[in-house]
Amino acid sequence: MNCREARELAAAAAFGDLDDALRDEFDAHLRECDDCRRALEESRQVLQAISGSGAACTPPDLAARTTAAGRRRLKLARRRRRLAYAHALAAAAALVLVATWIGVTRSPREEPCGCWRYVAGDPGNSRHSDYALQGTPDQVLWERRVQGMAGAYKPLAWKRLIIVGAHPRRKTHRGGGRLLAFDSVTGELRWQRDFASGDFYKAKSFPDRCILDGVLYVTDGHSCRAVELASGRQIRRIEPPAEAGSWGYLTGREGRLYGLSRNGRTAFCVDAAGGRTLWSRATGGRPFVAALAGGRLYLSDGNGALLALEAASGNRLWRGEGSPRGKASVHACKGHVLVINGNDEVAAFSTATGARRWKRRIEGAFASGAALGEGVAYLLAGTAAVALSDGRLIWNRGEDANGLCSAPTLTGNRILAAAGREAGSLNVFAATGRVEASFGGAARRACDGAIVAGGRVYAVGGGTLRALRCTEPG
């Protein structure tokens, strides 16, 4: 069951109107999805409001309008769920009509499921998607050529768009770049945007773009450009604080953008809508890739220290010693901070105190990225699992590793690893390390890895963006 189906059934579940089989599917989905649990709770709250309003408050034509709405939507439902959808859609129509009539309103939100709004999955670089992938990739639905090298693509997903970067048509000494937005279902090019100058090709998986409230923010090395996702039109340009002088790393959350100067010596936060600087501070080092999680910004300063800054103010909360020195990427998720440097030194820290838990060298760790789950770090393109508590190797599928250049993707409790015996194959691992499926030729040199959106997998590499269908087992 996907999120769209679960939400259509939320009203029926609130009425207690699901049969046993659907109820089991619905409950299984809720265990994996916080957003759908909230949707169910909202349906229950509206029902309580209706029941407390009294029969006299009900519009006289509500039943007829509800029945008509249910019949129109019923024609689109799958045959095996016809009766359940009839209940769900009629109930949903009733809730909308009555909620509108009694003045119950909801603020608009972006679709929480099926989107991939950050380069590394979330602001904490965890490479994790809350969307639990149903089935396994087994067929290329469409593919499109993308001009440039791996590392320039950086796929993102928003509603029905897949957005990737590319080289400009004509590259000059001024640099430049290109954004391409494809229809996620058909592969049709919806819009393209060219930039005549600026550094749009940075390190592989370097977070320099994110999506907030229907706007794509991308840095050109000097400033941040805001692009309207619906049209591809640039709507504003946001300058970094004067003391930063440039803008390299970028992430964002709740209307705020966080950045590092290109030399890493200044960290800052600006208002996404107006560009006003909210705070700026010297880092005391040269951080490379930071992580934003739990209201904190984590930086490895390159001199052996890990810093935790309060995201709202920029104030330092703690300083942890023993971080791998030099160029390092930081990953954060649920009480754990993982730091990996260019010499493949890996260290884990506590988010509460900054105390280092362990440090070890894992060859290939920096180039192949990381995904963080519940107490586990998936390394080496997803072919190895390490305990975040003590650095213990849980499992290693090294025989399935070939060309470890892409970060793994964690989707629910399964790992997508763009590495395998055949270069460019896409493996699906269970949390135990067992290979569930392997799809060859998913994306040659898939150095930007794979993302999950709307029940499909999108893999980028070797100059090609591919959309992969997933088939449910059985």
Q: Are residues 73 and 139 in the same domain?
A: no
Pick the closest to residue 180 from 168, 172, 170, 171 (CA basis): 168
Q: What length is written for the chain? A: 474
- Which pairs count as long-range contacts for 295-299, CB under 8 Å and 24+ apart, including other chains? 296/332, 296/351, 297/258, 297/267, 298/330, 298/332, 298/337, 298/351, 299/260, 299/267, 299/330
Q: Which residue, chain included where needed, has tokens 């400033």? A: 223
Q: Is residue 168 part of a domain?
A: yes
The domain tally of the chain equals: 2
pLDDT score of 404: 65
Amino acid at 371: A
Q: Is residue 285 part of a domain?
A: no
Cα–Cα distance for residue pair 19/315, rounded to 1 Å: 53
pLDDT score of 75: 45
By the 10 Å C-beta count (0-12 exposed, 13-18 middle, 19+ buried), 277 is classed as: middle
Cα–Cα distance for residue pair 54/66, rounded to 1 Å: 18
Q: Could you report the per-residue pLDDT of 238-287, keeping only the tens digit for each?
A: 999 999 999 999 999 999 999 999 999 999 999 999 999 999 999 999 99
Q: Is residue 163 part of a domain?
A: yes
Q: Which residue, chain included where needed, has tokens 């213990």? A: 392
Which of helix, strand or coil describes residue 84?
Answer: helix
92 or 170, higher pLDDT: 170
Q: What distances in angstroms separate CA 334 from CA 131, 331, 375, 389, one per listed residue?
A: 17, 11, 8, 12
Q: Could you report the per-residue pLDDT of 51-97, keeping only the tens digit for each?
A: 554 444 444 454 444 334 434 443 444 444 555 554 555 555 555 44
pLDDT score of 100: 41
421 CA to centre of own chain: 27
Q: Are residues 51 and 124 in the same domain?
A: no
Q: Could you report the per-residue pLDDT of 278-288, keeping only the tens digit for each?
A: 999 999 999 99
Q: Are residues 14 and 96 in the same domain?
A: yes
Q: Is residue 151 part of a domain?
A: yes
Q: Are residues 92 and 123 in the same domain?
A: no
pLDDT score of 401: 54
Report phi then psi at 328, rounded to 5. Answer: -145, 150
Q: Is residue 62 part of a domain?
A: yes
The phi-psi region of residue 171 (left if phi > 0; otherwise alpha if psi is between -120 and 50; otherwise beta) is: beta
Q: Could you give the percent of the chain with pLDDT greater than 70?
A: 78
Tally of helices (H runs) and strands (E runs) in the chain: 6, 34
pLDDT score of 74: 37
pLDDT score of 57: 44
Is the pLDDT at 444 greater than 70, yes or no? no
- Which pairs count as long-range contacts for 400-403, CB under 8 Å and 24+ apart, including other chains? 400/427, 400/435, 400/438, 401/364, 403/445
Is the pLDDT at 376 greater than 90, yes or no? yes
Q: Is residue 417 part of a domain?
A: yes
pLDDT score of 89: 52
Q: Are residues 122 and 167 in the same domain?
A: yes
Q: Are residues 123 and 92 in the same domain?
A: no
pLDDT score of 130: 73
Q: Domain of residue 71: give its range.
A: 3-101
The answer for residues whose C-beta is within 8 angstroms of residue 47's C-beta and 6 or more apart is: 14, 15, 95
The answer for residues whose C-beta is within 8 angstroms of residue 323's C-beta and 6 or more apart is: 300, 301, 304, 305, 306, 339, 347, 349, 356
Q: Are residues 129 and 91 in the same domain?
A: no
Mean pLDDT of the chain: 82
Cβ–Cβ < 8 Å for 163, 451: no
Cα–Cα distance for residue pair 400/385, rounded to 1 Å: 13
Q: Are residues 143 and 94 in the same domain?
A: no
Cβ–Cβ < 8 Å for 169, 203: no
The answer for residues whose C-beta is within 8 angstroms of residue 163's C-beta and 6 or more apart is: 155, 156, 157, 179, 180, 181, 182, 216, 229
Q: Are residues 429 and 470 in the same domain?
A: yes
Q: Could you report the per-residue pLDDT of 180-218, keeping only the tens digit for each?
A: 999 999 999 999 999 999 999 888 789 999 999 999 999
Q: Are residues 84 and 144 in the same domain?
A: no
pLDDT score of 441: 62
Q: Are residues 36 and 12 in the same domain?
A: yes
Q: How many CB atoms lie within 10 A of CB 134?
A: 15
Domain final residue pick, 101, 127, 150: 101
- R_g over Cα of the chain: 23
Cβ–Cβ < 8 Å for 193, 175: no
Q: How many CB atoms lie within 10 A of CB 24?
A: 12
Q: Are residues 403 and 464 in the same domain?
A: yes
Is the pLDDT at 383 greater than 70, yes or no? yes
Average confidence (pLDDT) over 395-420:
76
pLDDT score of 427: 82
Cα–Cα distance for residue pair 92/381, rounded to 1 Å: 43
Least confident segment among 171-175, 330-334, 376-380: 171-175
Pick the closest to residue 461 from 435, 411, 426, 429 (CA basis): 426
3-state helix, strand, coil in the chain (%, to 5): 20, 40, 45
Q: Is residue 320 part of a domain?
A: no
pLDDT band at 329 (very low <50, low <70, confident <90, very high): very high
430 or 20, higher pLDDT: 430
Pick the closest to residue 199 from 170, 167, 227, 226 (CA basis): 167
Cβ–Cβ < 8 Å for 463, 438: no
Domain final residue pick, 44, 79, 101: 101
Domain final residue pick, 73, 101, 129: 101
Q: Is residue 387 part of a domain?
A: no
Q: Could you report the per-residue pLDDT of 7-45, keeping only the tens digit for each?
A: 777 777 776 667 666 777 877 777 767 777 777 777 776
Cα–Cα distance for residue pair 65/466, rounded to 1 Å: 43
